[in-house]
Amino acid sequence: MITIQNLVGGYTQSPIIKGIDLEIKKGEFFALLGPNGSGKTTLFKLITGQLPLKSGKVSLGGKDISSLSKLEKAKKMAVLTQEVQVSFDYTVEEIISLGRYPHQKGILKQLSKEDRKVIEEVMEITQIRDFRKTQFRLISGGEKQRVLLAKALAQEPEVLLLDEPTNHLDIKHTFQMLNLLKERQQTTGLTIFSILHDLNVASLFADRVALLHNGSFLEVGDVDLLRKEDQLKKVYEVKVSSQSHPTVPKPQLLMTPFHSTSSQLFKFEDSYKMDQTEEYFHVQFNQPLRTISNTVIGSGIQWIKHFCHVQGSRPDLQHLLEKYSISPEKGVAIMTAAKLGDLVIVRKQIEEINMMIIVSAGSWKSTNIMLFIDANFTDGALVDGYMSAVEAKMKALHVCQIEVSPTSTDTLILGLTQQGAKISCAGSGTVVGKGIHQMVNCAIKEALSQNLEKVH
């Protein structure tokens, strides 16, 4: 739909855009990404004709864009820029009606029934009908952006070019606008070329992206190129972590500020305190731990400071968390039938790594484990460590001839301080994995032995 060949241009004698080639396919949502100063707006203005080309060619539907008249371009292409300049006191409806100009016939260029129908439709889908008679200059920046989008859609273009269309919008209206554009793309075959600042938003809505760096494309491809952390760090000069969105098969990016990577190490043995009653056991850490668990409350992978054992049912558990002002977002909790006085706590240093394990286990055939390790695990090691702890638990129960119930509600929490050198593997064959096996095996055997002594 849009073909760019060896494009060179910019504001000065020294070109900002340096020999770019690109093809944007009909009906796709293409996002242009890059930091400030990389040349995004310059490239946009070269494509739209707002800046002259030094060399190269831009084609629209196989025709050189410079050969098209303004009216021909307006029928095929609509442009939404960041620069909002309206000299007269037009109303919102009058602004939108200007989008129908390329389709009007005759000398007087009056609005037809079809024009009015299109205007009503775009005002409805952009949710601006309520202030249609309001003067454009009196509405907010976000509302102006929606009005100008409605004007662009009123042109019924084949291609829509947008320069940071969500720049003045909050999260709600950003998603409303991009959902609308995505729906138009999918239902009408609209081709969209957009500059976007937010990499996560671009990943969710774009079909393909281009990463612009110092006036040239570093890479063009589908949104999975946003998984290339080293490349993004080079372009944006920020430490980036890429992960998968939990419900959409697209990458999402997390930025790490400098202050969080330069914090001082703390002593593991001084970093927590314990509180225990007949119904409640609570470990509170001074710093949140990276945690993976299958607990009733707080399950999954997250950062947690409060770790609780509660004797009783789920309502009892929730009541106690509220009583001690622990929100579900800040704590994980285990429900257990065990007497909390029977908990086994083991602390050891294995290969210079501090570990602490808390276990409840007994003849009720339920084993609950809290395992805390003073180490920095990658995501892969986090999963490895969890699997190693499960393997160790099953082996210990087998050796002690304890049958695992098919209706078991066993719970395992693995918490990591995430300080020190990174550990990339914690499988059972590694030093760390063997340490986990040793800790779990020791604690479960002690808990079972303690329980059996009470039974006899």
Q: Which run of H or of E encompasses 186?
A: helix 171-188
- For the segment 1-14, the average pLDDT, to the nearest whole number, is 87
Q: Which residues of 94-126 are buried (b: 16+ CB within 10 A; e: fewer)?
A: bbbbebbebbeeeeeeeeeeebeebbeebbebb
Q: Which run of H or of E encompasses 284?
A: strand 280-293
Q: For position 149, what pLDDT does the model report?
A: 92
Percent of the chain past pLDDT 90, that is, above it, reads 59
Kindly report which listed range (40-49, 249-258, 280-289, 308-317) carries the lowest average pLDDT score: 308-317
Q: Where are the domains of the chain?
A: 2-258, 272-455
Give me the amino acid identity at 131: F
Q: Which CATH class is domain 2-258?
A: alpha beta
Strands (E) located in 317-454: 331-336, 344-350, 353-360, 368-373, 376-377, 411-416, 422-423
Q: For position 265, what pLDDT does the model report?
A: 86
CA angle (208, 211, 213) in 5-degree steps? 165
Contact indicator for 226, 209 with CB cutoff of 8 Å:
yes
Tens digits of per-residue pLDDT, 156-206?
999 999 999 988 788 998 999 999 999 999 999 999 999 999 999 999 999
Tens digits of per-residue pLDDT, 402-440?
776 665 678 999 999 999 889 999 998 999 999 999 999
Reported confidence tier of residue 41, pLDDT bands at 50, 70, 90: very high
Q: Does 141 have pLDDT greater than 60?
A: yes
- DSSP 8-state code for residue 246: S
Q: For position 408, what pLDDT does the model report?
A: 65
Reported confidence tier of residue 358, pLDDT bands at 50, 70, 90: very high
More confident residue, 450 or 335: 335
Q: How many C-beta neighbours within 10 Å does residue 323 have?
A: 9
Tens digits of per-residue pLDDT, 46-60?
998 888 899 999 999
- For the segment 57-68, the average pLDDT, to the nearest whole number, is 90
- The hierarchical CATH code for the domain 272-455 is 3.60.70.12
Q: For position 85, what pLDDT does the model report?
A: 66
Q: For position 455, what pLDDT does the model report?
A: 41
Helix (H, G, I), strand (E, B) or coil at 250: coil
Tens digits of per-residue pLDDT, 212-266?
999 999 999 999 999 999 999 999 999 999 999 999 999 999 988 876 654 578 9
- For the segment 292-308, the average pLDDT, to the nearest whole number, is 90
Reported confidence tier of residue 108, pLDDT bands at 50, 70, 90: low
- For the segment 383-389, the average pLDDT, to the nearest whole number, is 96
Q: For position 391, what pLDDT does the model report?
A: 94
- For the segment 23-36, the average pLDDT, to the nearest whole number, is 96
How far apart CA 143 and CA 59 sit, in angstroms, is: 33
Rg of the chain taking only CA atoms, in angstroms: 31
Reported confidence tier of residue 3, pLDDT bands at 50, 70, 90: very high
Reported confidence tier of residue 456, pLDDT bands at 50, 70, 90: very low
- For the segment 283-304, the average pLDDT, to the nearest whole number, is 92
Tens digits of per-residue pLDDT, 264-285?
789 999 999 998 887 788 999 9
Percent of the chain past pLDDT 70, that is, above it, reads 90
Structure token digits, residue 170 = 């909050």
Q: For position 261, what pLDDT does the model report?
A: 53
Q: Does 317 have pLDDT greater than 80?
A: no
How far apart CA 7 and CA 93 sit, in angstroms, is: 38
Q: For position 346, what pLDDT does the model report?
A: 94
- For the segment 97-125, the average pLDDT, to the nearest whole number, is 86
Reported confidence tier of residue 367, pLDDT bands at 50, 70, 90: confident
Reported confidence tier of residue 319, pLDDT bands at 50, 70, 90: confident
Q: Does 7 have pLDDT greater than 90?
A: yes
Q: For position 110, what pLDDT does the model report?
A: 82
- In 3D space, the residue among 359, 339, 330 whose CA is nearest the CA of residue 439 turns out to be 359
Long-range contacts, 233-237 (Cβ 8 Å, 24+):
235/34, 235/35, 235/38, 235/211, 236/35, 237/35
